[in-house]
Structure 1
Amino acid sequence: MAANDSFSGEAYLLMKEYFYTTARYILFAVTLLSDSYLLFITDVLLILTHFSITIQVWICLIIFTAVLLYLTVTPVTLAAMTLERYVAICMPLRHGQLCSTQNTVNIILLIHAISSVPGILILSAFFVSASLSFYRQYQFCSVEIFMLYIWQHNLRSGIYQVQFLIMVIIIVFSYIKIMKVAKAASGEDKQSSRKGLRTVALHGFQLLLCLIQLWCPFIEVAILQIDVGLFEIARYLNFLLFYLAPRCLSPLIYGLRDEVYFQALKYYASFGLLKRNI
């Protein structure tokens, strides 16, 4: 059978290897794993809170050590994916070298190192403020129990605002540079540049959703001072609108825009019945 007549298993294996060796697919997988972990943990914590189940603070501390890390991994990865598109379009001759598999692995390690900074600072402020007896108390597990003083809330807000400002600068810088290339390009290069612009714009929208997620706790605390029932409603709405929906829809939209990923998704969704040559 000719290679272009069917979507053979051998070709499909090669396509899978392409996913594992291409920078943007590796980084995309990082966002999927990060979002999946956060969705799982937040679902569990929401169930515990709904049934009024409390746990000891030291157990909650272990859980939120990872949560604070992966809460930031996705937006930082979005910034890295934006830079990858910038290199691919503005420096195509160096893209293969700068975005090699080994460099991508190093970038993932750097992403996790950068993402750990807010958690380290927030938890360090908690460690110097909490007594040893507090760790043995039973509390509803949420990040608010680590905020014992107003200055800790302000510290958390300041850390995240500075971090997201840096990522916004990266995305705006990449968008402007790609736009200049798109204006000067022609033919297929122009089409590729425009697609890159749409991708960067999507990253900016995803980053905005991540920023709104960080504002949710401050909104909830303000509503809690007004009415407890309204606070519970606001918390559920924030979870559905700004935690659950973006982390489900944004990766799917991004993936469906990619032709190779879309063909692979069709293959899996049809259990291999819809075979196409990529």
Structure 2
Amino acid sequence: MPLFCLFLCCIIIMLQVFASNRQFMETSRYVLFAHMLINDTLQILSSVLLFLCVMAQVKFAMVLCVPLLVISTATFQNTTLILAAMSLERYVAIFYPLQRPAAWRSDRIWITVVSLWFISFVFPIIEYAMKSGNPAVLGLTTPVLCKVTTINSSFIQTLFRAAVSVLFFAVVAFVILFTYVRILLETRKLRQDRLSVRRAMHTVLLHGFQLLLCILAFTGPITETLVVLHKVWTREDIAFFNYFCFILVPRFLSPLIYGFRDQVLRSHMVKNFLFCTKTVKPFFKQ
């Protein structure tokens, strides 16, 4: 919970910087980054709520459970799509600096953002719309323990979820690898403005690292199989370990690393922090 509160504070400061400086909203790269901040915040809020309910064995109706699961799943998948979009944006900025395609201009980037949200929500809705194989789940008012294995217990749903996850990560990995290799080859050709090209290459490499952090979420079953051999650990301890290390920590590190790495954004955050500290007057007068 302390890390969760710290994460929210950093996100609020970053979004306040975006809202108070028009130059950020007029740059496609920062618009996509703000979109990632909002997406990861929704993902953490929904996943933390679901995790606490499962750990406390709190049951509530499916009509409330399914929307939370859809939001959690969609925002998790949307993170990978945002990473691919940000890598393509760097690719377009390097190879088409003067004549950008319409979809990547700052005034049209909302089309890409809406498309990412649409794609990320379509597959979870299809998955949860499939008929559940759990006979205990009778209707929308049935109180259930809100987790994926309870609602989506059929083999078809499990196979569909696995196929969608593999498809998402394979496509995003290909996009990141493609953009990184093209930008790497471009650095050898250009003699001018090599600094910006190298920065773009490092940014794409960072997106690859962020994708690797997202993939760690799928190591949960493997970790449970290995750790369950040690009888000292209970099932609840294993679940908390997997959730903290493979869900929360990557979500904490991903936006913070990218945000504090950017010099322009970091300078504005420092200015806002110093301004807030100066406006706080001491309670006692000397």
Normalising to structure 1: TM-score of the pair? Answer: 0.83
1:197 maps to 201
Map 1:68-217; keep pairs closer than 5 Å. Answer: 68-95=73-100, 97-125=102-130, 127=131, 129=133, 133-187=138-192, 189-216=193-220
User: Is contact 2:133–2:152 with CA below 8 Å preserved after alignment?
Assistant: no
User: Are residue 266 (structure 1) and residue 270 (structure 2) matched?
Assistant: yes
Write the distance in 1 (CA, Å) between the matches of 2:105 and 2:155: 45
Aligned-partner residue type, residue 231 of structure 1: R
1:6 maps to none
2:248 maps to 244
User: Is contact 1:224–1:231 with CA below 8 Å preserved after alignment?
Assistant: no
Deviation at 1:198? Answer: 0.9
Aligned-partner residue type, residue 267 of structure 2: Q
C-alpha distance 157-223 of structure 1, shift in aligned 2 (>3 A) = farther
User: Are residue 38 (structure 1) and residue 27 (structure 2) matched?
Assistant: no
1:48 maps to 53
Aligned-partner residue type, residue 196 of structure 1: A
Aligned-partner residue type, residue 274 of structure 2: S
Q: Which moved more, 1:131-140 or 1:250-259?
A: 131-140
The DSSP-based 3-state class of the residue aligned with 2:117 is helix
Write the distance in 2 (CA, Å) between the matches of 1:38 and 1:180: 36
Aligned-partner residue type, residue 95 of structure 2: C
Aligned pair count reads 260
The DSSP-based 3-state class of the residue aligned with 1:92 is coil
Deviation at 1:224? Answer: 10
Deviation at 1:97? Answer: 4.8
The DSSP-based 3-state class of the residue aligned with 1:271 is helix
Aligned-partner residue type, residue 259 of structure 1: Q
* CA displacement 1:80-127 (0-9 Å, x = unmatched): 0000000011221223855222320000011112212320231122x3
Fraction of identical pairs, as percent: 27
Write the distance in 1 (CA, Å) between the matches of 2:239 and 2:48: 13
The DSSP-based 3-state class of the residue aligned with 1:135 is coil
* CA displacement 1:172-227 (0-9 Å, x = unmatched): 1101110111111224x1111111111101101111211222443x4477579977
Deviation at 1:138? Answer: 2.2
Write the distance in 2 (CA, Å) between the matches of 1:150 and 1:247: 29
Deviation at 1:134? Answer: 4.4
Write the distance in 1 (CA, Å) between the matches of 2:223 and 2:157: 16
Write the distance in 2 (CA, Å) between the matches of 1:64 and 1:22: 33
RCO higher in structure (CA 8 A, sep ≥6): 1
More helix per residue: 1
* CA displacement 1:124-180 (0-9 Å, x = unmatched): 22x364667243332221111122223321221111101210111111110111011
Deviation at 1:55? Answer: 1.3
User: Is contact 1:22–1:101 with CA below 8 Å preserved after alignment?
Assistant: yes
Aligned-partner residue type, residue 180 of structure 2: Y
Q: Which runs of 4+ in 1 moved over 6 A?
A: 12-15, 223-228
Normalising to structure 2: TM-score of the pair? Answer: 0.81
